[in-house]
Amino acid sequence: MGLEWYITRRVAWAVIVTFIIVTLTWALLTAAPNPQVSQAATQAALQGGDPAEARERARELRGLDAPLHERYIDYVTGVYTLEWGWSESRNQPVTEALLESLYYTAQYSVPWTILTILLGPLVGIYSAANQYSWKDHVATGFAFFGYAIPNFFFGIILLLVFGVYLDVVPIVYNTDVAVFSLENAIQLVLPVFVLVTGSIGGTMRVSRNESAEYINADFVKTATAKGVSPLRIYARHILRPTMVPLSTTIVAQLLYLFVGSSLLVEVVFGIPGLGQTTFQAVIAQDTSLVLGSTLFFTFIATVGNLLQDVVYTVLDPRISFDER
């Protein structure tokens, strides 16, 4: 009855949650009128055919005339065997379309995540070490700024200043450049910067408040008294206990922005990533692709929440698992 048991139960719960959300998505899409079917009917009516007949044919073609439970079972097996259907707007399997987009999303997500994990705690502890000085106020101001400015709006402004007026970054995202090239780095600077300012604010605030708690703690005074260097005190004695609550915040912040604002940032900067794909699928009324990307984001969100809980319990040795 220890950590393993807790994690097992937590993972099992995550599987149940995804299953429930998958079912809800299916119910939602089944209850709604299918745009492609009504489109077929409209087209038939325009060409002088029988709209009712065309509707029936379109339903038959997509297997919509089968009984509900059969369609549900088909759908669930499809979801879990990764057969997510055919994307009509992109003319390729949904999984392939999603993987292709993931390639572009990863290019800015990886530096963004690394920078947030590195910079957030650092700036927070620096702020706590210089509490109530002008440095602290500048850092706090920056945190609030990053937290409050709408990411998409910030992206537009940066693009205007650096892309249009100063002309140092390209305005149109170029998909042809190699991943590890200077051109790619330059065109990804702005989106990464926008997302880092967005995610660093909350992280910084939490790390500042948490580490401020430990700066005057007895064990830090002991360490100072026995002559431990300040750097080592911050790295070993203050950062470690701070990381426990902070890890939850970091995962939550990254997750929140990943499933939310990154979509807008991709649209603003024209990056053909997951968010952009989802958005285009909605515009093109491509049901399979909309469903596929929804599922993908749901999986990410569930895994993120799982990670959040597990990291917290793994990092804090004081937590007893028997009560959970």
Partner 1 sequence: MATDKSNPNFDQVDWDDIASNSGRELSTNAIGTLISTGVLVAILLYDYFIVPANSATFEAVGWGYDVIPLDYMFAFTLILFGFYAVLPLYQNPRMTRYYWKEFRKNRPAVVSLIWLIAIFLLGVLGPLFISPTESELFRKYQPPIWMTIDQNYVIECVGTLAGGACAGTWQHPLGTTQGGKDILTMIIYGMQISMKVGFISTLIAVVIGTAFGTVSAYAGGMVDEVLMRYVDIQQSIPTLILYLLIIYIFGGGLWLLILLLGIFSWEGMARYVRSKALSVTEEEYMKATKISGASSYRIIRHHVIPNSASSIITDITLLIPAFLLAEAQLSFLGLGDSSVPSWGQLISAGRSDLSFAPWIVLAPGLVLFLTILAFNFLGDALLDALNPEAETESE
Distance set, CA 23 to CA 14, 302, 304, 305 (Å):
14, 15, 20, 19
Residues in the chain, how many? 324
Radius of gyration for the alpha carbons in the chain, expressed in angstroms and rounded: 25
Nearest residue (CB) to partner 1, 116 versus 280? 280
Concatenating the DSSP letter of every residue in 79-124 gives HHTT---EETTTTEEHHHHHHHHHHHHHHHHHHHHHHHHHHHHHHH
Nearest residue (CB) to partner 1, 72 versus 152? 152
Q: How far is the CB of 302 from partner 1 (least distance, A)?
A: 5
Residue type, 269: F
The residues of the shown chain that bind partner 1, judged by CB under 8 A, are 13, 17-18, 20-21, 25, 28-29, 32-33, 144-145, 147-150, 152-153, 156-157, 159-160, 164, 209, 212-213, 259-261, 263-264, 267, 278-279, 282-283, 285, 290, 293-294, 297-298, 300-302, 305
How much of the chain is in helix, strand and coil states, percent to nearest 5?
A: 75, 0, 20
Nearest residue (CB) to partner 1, 184 versus 244? 244
Cα separation, 288 vs 296, in Å, equals: 12
Q: How far is the CB of 43 from partner 1 (least distance, A)?
A: 20
Q: How many CA atoms lie within 13 A of 215 on its CB side?
A: 16
Nearest residue (CB) to partner 1, 141 versus 179? 141
**Among 204, 209, 240, 236, which Cα is nearest to 222's?**
236
**Among 278, 258, 95, 182, which Cα is nearest to 174's?**
182
Nearest residue (CB) to partner 1, 33 versus 48? 33
Q: How far is the CB of 177 from partner 1 (least distance, A)?
A: 24
Q: How far is the CB of 212 from partner 1 (least distance, A)?
A: 6
- Hey, is 234 helix, strand or coil? helix
Q: How far is the CB of 281 from partner 1 (least distance, A)?
A: 9
Nearest residue (CB) to partner 1, 159 versus 188? 159
Phi first, then psi: give them for residue 87, nearest 5 degrees. Answer: -85, 115
Q: How far is the CB of 180 from partner 1 (least distance, A)?
A: 30
Q: How far is the CB of 188 from partner 1 (least distance, A)?
A: 21
Assess contact for 159 and 268: CB atoms under 8 A.
Answer: yes
Q: How far is the CB of 245 from partner 1 (least distance, A)?
A: 11
Nearest residue (CB) to partner 1, 21 versus 45? 21
Nearest residue (CB) to partner 1, 127 versus 293? 293
